[in-house]
């Protein structure tokens, strides 16, 4: 990979809770190159969103970014910057879109006003010029009648249009990095498809780097060029998208891929004969749930849910092994490949 | 489903109209037809999925079938019983046989009750068990849905989302229903946990012969469980048939667009999206004729589509769609229409 644009180094974030210290993000190192879309996937509670919030330094106590963590952009460690300097980076160099477009917009201000405000806070623009930039930004994200829409309030817009408005607001200052946290999860499927196509198109045209946080492997397959998988506060696998979907090495990644629902209806005489859906065949799932961040398991944090685990996994935390130049996996199987041969088919073959 | 079998649930020309009272933000009040002449039947042991985007009326339909909202007109028969004719006491007795499972088990479980008590409540109310027998039954139910006995002493907030959904299912099962309306039961859950809950629902259906009305917006999830699918748009069913037929040979352009919008978890897949223009119109101002006309990508759509509301017609055996531009796929003349789509409606099924 070329020189990264954004580089996260050994990020550790803790939360002090009644139940003890939660190590929500525990030693994450991740590079984002200019012009790439990196998908960050994992179940809820694995630390994806906390990682993203750390990059923008939006976390508030009891969250704490531990000393030794670094986040580099433009040759500077963002975690060492004074808040004032950080403020000029948010929006201008790194922007973020969130899942819930209604709560991210102010209900009593027109959307044109809200986008123009972003411009005026960061640049010495006149009211009129900022307004023009807002309308242009709405046009860029495919909002029809941008002049009219700019004069409307959030409640007058559909969910899909509101999400476009948030995208316009994020892009109005041409940031180098866009962090999109579940940007389409709250939307209907047809609207979601439009938004994803728009995001891909804008990324190509503007050459932004995008950190795309999602639990949806379909979204990752469609948009991402590279994928990083998080589990229990750590990165467990990282690879180019085609490589990851074809040759996932970590049993957690394999489990996620197998659990992803597919459109094909279940085989069998559905509705055509006497047999009904029940028992037609169970889905592959990952047993159990993500453990609480206050008590990550010893050794490999996935060992108690892993069908490939052996005694070493319980004892010893695996390092992140390089499978090849662009593919890493935090699994002892990468160091003991001969064990893979003894595993059940589901974990050794490629995933459907 | 064989033609002679009596369906467990039969819904005919169900309609729910909400009066909009007063003036809302200066707009004159009117009425909103959330569910418009919806008819379907579900055979014993089958799963009918009601799919569509937000606002299409699928949740209202599900609640109306359970009489959690009162339908404006229509007929609902459950195991031969005219549900809408029942007074409060017989309705309460019938409710034991038809149970809901909701999307967010957190807001549907009393936060101040231990989950053992939540599951036990229905047993006692319906006089099915009490005392030690009820406690034993609660333990059995918890085991059946994959919860441990010690979980009975915990409160809902102490569970993960997937476990809370198991509590919701155990509560529904406690009264030994024949029929469960599942309203988006897995959409708030992580992918791997979604699979666990779907598997549980499939196992319960196989073991207990349950019949499901499964309401969901995610077509990939629906594919895992449905035997039959009904697609709703703006309060009407626009396509209905066996799951395999609807997924493999969708007739309505809307169904095709919904299916094409789902991104498969496969980066090598070539997406051929059927794009829809704009958002769904508000049910408050439903257009004349085919309600899908404005967004419809059908190459032969014309003014004829705007004249009358297209009827849901058989286009292939057991498979019907509401589109005047789609000719039948297979000869359907001489076929006896299945009880799913009553072609002749008896009388005026009006209840007030």
pLDDT of A122-150, one tens digit each? 888 899 999 999 999 999 888 888 998 99
Domain count, chain A: 1
Is A347 a member of any domain? yes
For A344, counting Cβ atoms within 10 Å of its Cβ (0-12 exposed, 13-18 middle, 19+ buried), the class is exposed
Is A279 a member of any domain? no
Cβ distance of A193 and B204 shorter than 8 Å: no
Tell me what percent of the residues of chain A surpass a pLDDT of 90: 54
User: Tens digits of per-residue pLDDT, B291-300?
Assistant: 899 888 888 9
Residue A271 has a pLDDT of 36
CA distance A290 to chain B (A): 9
The Cβ-side half-sphere exposure at B4, using a 13 Å CA radius, reads 0
ipTM: 0.79
Distances (CA, A) of A308 to A46, A298, B48: 21, 16, 37
Tell me what percent of the residues of chain B surpass a pLDDT of 70: 87
Is A231 a member of any domain? yes
Residue B208 has a pLDDT of 92
Domain count, chain B: 1
User: Tens digits of per-residue pLDDT, B122-171?
Assistant: 999 988 988 999 999 999 999 989 888 889 999 988 888 888 889 999 99
Cβ distance of A242 and B268 shorter than 8 Å: yes
Cβ distance of B218 and A261 shorter than 8 Å: yes
In what order do the strands lie in the sheet containing A94-97? A94-97, A177-181, A209-214, A37-41, A226-231, A234-240, A327-329, A321-324
Residue B336 has a pLDDT of 42
User: Tens digits of per-residue pLDDT, B73-125?
Assistant: 999 999 999 999 999 999 999 999 999 998 876 678 888 999 999 999 999 99
For B142, counting Cβ atoms within 10 Å of its Cβ (0-12 exposed, 13-18 middle, 19+ buried), the class is buried
Question: Given a cut of 60, is residue A173 above it in pLDDT?
Answer: yes
Task: Give the structural domain span for A302.
Answer: 225-258+285-352
Read off the tokens for B336: 């006896």
- Rounded mean pLDDT of B2-22? 82
Question: Given a cut of 60, is residue A316 above it in pLDDT?
Answer: yes
Residue A104 has a pLDDT of 79
B32 touches chain A (CB under 8 A): no
Is B117 a member of any domain? yes
Long-range Cβ pairs for the range A202-205 (8 Å, 24+)? A202/A140, A202/A141, A202/A167, A202/A171, A203/A35, A203/A37, A203/A178
Under 8 Å between Cβ of A341 and A349:
no
Sign (positive or negative) of CA dihedral A131, A136, A141, A143: positive
User: Tens digits of per-residue pLDDT, A223-256?
Assistant: 999 999 999 999 999 999 999 999 999 999 999 9
Alpha-carbon gap, residue B171 to B260, rounded angstroms: 37
Task: Give the structural domain span for B156.
Answer: 104-176
The Cβ-side half-sphere exposure at A123, using a 13 Å CA radius, reads 17
B259 touches chain A (CB under 8 A): yes
Is A346 a member of any domain? yes
Alpha-carbon gap, residue A177 to A56, rounded angstroms: 11
Question: Given a cut of 90, is residue B274 above it in pLDDT?
Answer: no
Under 8 Å between Cβ of A69 and A9:
yes
Is A63 a member of any domain? no
Kindly list the residues from chain A whose CB atom is less than 8 angstroms away from the CB atom of residue B259: 263
Cβ distance of B265 and A194 shorter than 8 Å: no
Kindly list the residues from chain B whose CB atom is less than 8 angstroms away from the CB atom of residue A284: 195
Is A112 a member of any domain? no
Q: State which residue of chain A sits closest to B220, comparing Cα positions.
A: A263
Residue B27 has a pLDDT of 57
Q: State which residue of chain A sits closest to B146, comparing Cα positions.
A: A288
Alpha-carbon gap, residue A9 to A137, rounded angstroms: 33
Cβ distance of A216 and B263 shorter than 8 Å: yes
User: Tens digits of per-residue pLDDT, A179-188?
Assistant: 999 888 777 7
Write the residue in B198, B260, B262 that is nearest to A218 by C-beta.
Answer: B262
Read off the tokens for A349: 């073959």
Is A331 a member of any domain? yes
pLDDT band at B25 (very low <50, low <70, confident <90, very high): low
Interchain CB contacts (distance < 8 Å): A and B = 180
Kindly list the residues from chain A whose CB atom is less than 8 angstroms away from the CB atom of residue B220: 218, 260-263
Is A136 a member of any domain? no
B187 vs B97 pLDDT, higher one:
B97
Read off the tokens for A267: 């085989």
User: Tens digits of per-residue pLDDT, A83-97?
Assistant: 999 998 998 999 998
């Amino acid at each position: 990979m070329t020189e990264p644009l954004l580089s996260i180094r050994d990020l550790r974030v803790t939360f002090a809770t009644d139940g003890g210290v939660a190590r929500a993000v525990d030693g994450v190192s991740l590079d984002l190159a200019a012009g790439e879309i990196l998908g960050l996937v994992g179940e809820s509670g694995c630390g994806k969103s906390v990682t993203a919030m750390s990059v923008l330094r939006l976390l508030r106590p009891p969250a704490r970014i531990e000393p030794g963590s670094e986040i580099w952009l433009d040759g500077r460690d963002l975690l060492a910057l004074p808040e004032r300097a950080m403020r000029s980076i948010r929006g201008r160099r790194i922007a973020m879109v969130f899942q819930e477009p209604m709560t991210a917009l102010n209900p009593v201000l027109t959307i044109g006003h809200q986008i123009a405000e972003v411009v005026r806070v960061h640049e010495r623009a006149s009211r009129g010029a900022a307004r023009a930039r807002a309308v242009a930004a709405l046009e860029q994200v495919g909002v029809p009648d941008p002049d009219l829409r700019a004069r409307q309030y959030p409640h007058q817009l559909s969910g899909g249009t509101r999400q476009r408005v948030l995208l316009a607001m994020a892009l109005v200052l041409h940031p180098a990095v866009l962090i999109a946290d579940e940007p389409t999860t709250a939307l209907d499927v047809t609207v979601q498809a439009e938004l994803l196509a728009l995001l891909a198109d804008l990324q190509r045209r503007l050459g932004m780097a995008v950190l795309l946080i999602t639990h949806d492997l379909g979204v990752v397959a469609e948009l991402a060029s590279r994928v990083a998988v998080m589990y229990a506060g750590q990165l467990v696998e990282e690879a180019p998208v085609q490589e990851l979907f074809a040759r996932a090495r970590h049993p957690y990644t394999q489990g996620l891929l197998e659990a992803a629902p597919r459109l094909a209806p279940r085989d069998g005489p559905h509705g055509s004969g006497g047999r009904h859906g029940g028992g037609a065949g169970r889905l592959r799932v990952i047993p159990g749930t993500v453990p609480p961040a206050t008590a990550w398991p010893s050794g490999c944090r996935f060992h108690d849910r892993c069908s490939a685990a052996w005694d070493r996994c319980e004892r010893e935390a695996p390092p992140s092994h390089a499978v090849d130049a662009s593919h890493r996996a935090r699994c002892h199987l990468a160091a003991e490949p001969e064990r893979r041969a003894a595993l059940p088919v589901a974990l050794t073959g490629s995933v459907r | 489903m064989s033609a002679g079998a009596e369906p467990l649930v039969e819904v005919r020309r169900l309609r729910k109209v909400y009066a909009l009272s007063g003036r809302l933000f200066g707009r004159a009040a009117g009425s909103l037809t959330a569910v418009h002449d919806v008819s379907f039947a579900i055979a014993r042991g089958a799963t009918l999925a009601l799919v569509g985007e937000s606002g299409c009326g699928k949740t209202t339909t599900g609640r109306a079938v359970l009489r959690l909202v009162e339908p404006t007109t229509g007929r609902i028969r459950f195991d031969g019983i005219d549900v809408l004719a029942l007074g409060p006491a017989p309705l309460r007795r019938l409710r034991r046989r038809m149970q809901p499972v909701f999307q967010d088990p957190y807001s549907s479980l009393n936060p101040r009750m231990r989950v053992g008590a939540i599951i036990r409540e229905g047993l006692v109310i319906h006089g099915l068990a009490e005392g030690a027998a009820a406690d034993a039954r609660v333990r059995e139910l918890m085991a059946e849905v994959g919860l441990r006995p010690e979980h009975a002493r915990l409160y809902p907030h102490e569970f993960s989302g997937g476990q809370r959904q198991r509590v919701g299912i155990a509560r529904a099962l406690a009264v030994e229903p024949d029929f469960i309306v599942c309203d988006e039961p897995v959409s708030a859950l992580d992918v791997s946990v979604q699979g666990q809950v779907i598997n549980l629902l499939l196992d319960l259906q196989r073991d207990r012969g349950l019949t499901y009305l499964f309401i969901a917006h995610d077509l990939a999830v629906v594919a895992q469980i449905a035997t039959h699918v009904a697609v709703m748009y703006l309060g009407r069913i626009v396509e209905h048939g066996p799951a395999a037929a609807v997924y493999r040979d969708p007739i309505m352009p809307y169904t095709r667009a919904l299916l094409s919008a789902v991104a498969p978890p496969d980066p090598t897949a070539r997406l051929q999206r059927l794009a829809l223009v704009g958002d769904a119109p508000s049910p408050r101002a439903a257009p004349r004729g085919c309600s899908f006309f404005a967004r419809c990508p059908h190459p032969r759509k014309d003014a004829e589509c705007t004249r009358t509301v297209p009827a849901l017609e058989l286009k292939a055996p057991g498979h019907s769609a509401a589109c005047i531009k789609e000719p039948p796929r297979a000869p359907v003349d001489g076929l006896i229409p299945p009880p799913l789509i009553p072609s002749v409606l008896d009388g005026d099924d009006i209840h007030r």
